[in-house]
């Protein structure tokens, strides 16, 4: 598995709103791209090169907030409605 627990998520969640939005944007790109999603699920790794090249997502963001991005993708693609409210981009 991904070896991510809720306690870790609280620690790795981006504090700055701008940074959190960038991390959520990276997660959204993965969740809405079948190939990237499949890559994540099969390899348990973020597709950094594609995110950087195709979507211009800053590598620092994906490296620093890897667990947060992965957890966000998993919440999005598995329709965990209760948890989605915690990652909503409208929250500050």
Q: Where are the domains of the chain?
A: 15-87
CB-based burial of residue 39 (10 Å sphere; 0-12 exposed, 13-18 middle, 19+ buried)? Answer: middle
The rounded distance, in Å, linking the Cα atoms of 77 and 39 is 14
Q: What is the pLDDT of residues 44-71, one digit of tens each?
A: 999 999 999 999 999 999 999 999 999 9
Instruction: Name the pTM for this structure.
Output: 0.88
């Amino acid at each position: 598995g991904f070896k991510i627990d809720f306690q870790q998520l609280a620690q790795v969640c981006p504090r700055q709103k701008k940074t959190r939005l960038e991390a959520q944007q990276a997660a959204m790109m993965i969740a809405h791209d079948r190939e990237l999603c499949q890559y994540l699920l099969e390899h348990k790794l973020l597709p950094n090169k594609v995110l950087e090249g195709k979507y211009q997502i800053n590598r620092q963001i994906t490296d620093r907030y890897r667990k947060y991005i992965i957890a966000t993708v998993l919440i999005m693609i598995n329709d965990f409605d209760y948890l989605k409210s915690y990652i909503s981009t409208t929250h500050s």
